[in-house]
Amino acid sequence: MDLKVVCVLSVILVIALSTLAEGRTSPTKCQCKVAPRERRNCGYPGISEVECAKAGCCFNDSVFGFPWCFAPKEKKVRKVCPTDPSTRINCGFPGITAQQCESKGCCFKAHPAGVPWCFYHRTVEQ
């Protein structure tokens, strides 16, 4: 095999393996506040807390008769218009009107000078 092909295949393999190794993110404490009756099983009988966490699930073995490893609540997010003008990311073009900007689903604020007036929302967790 050509050296270039081997290098390209090696890079692809490393990227693929690193993606698999990342796993899921751990749920927040708030996401794990699930009433025992509302828990959806996320593991298998005898699963350890470590294995449960690796699967991106919540673990609580304090209530007998209900799943100990269970699916977390969905994260609640909302869109907000950034208040700091320096964090604005342009969503429009010079001379865009508020109506044109908002019809694109973006925020509009015609001040201060020197920053985008039509800009993207930010997503924040609740």
More confident residue, 15 or 118: 118
Under 8 Å CB-to-CB from 113, ≥6 apart: which residues? none
Q: Is residue 78 helix, strand or coil?
A: strand
**Helix or strand or coil: residue 24?**
coil
Domains of the chain: 25-74 (4.10.110.10), 77-125 (4.10.110.10)
Distance CA 29, CA 45 (A): 23
Kindly indicate the confidence band of residue 16, based on its pLDDT and cuts at 50, 70 and 90. Answer: very low
List 78's β-bridge partners, or say none. 124
Q: Which of 90, 85, 112 is nearest to 101 (CA)?
A: 90
**pLDDT tens for residues 25-62?**
788 888 999 999 999 999 999 999 999 999 999 999 99
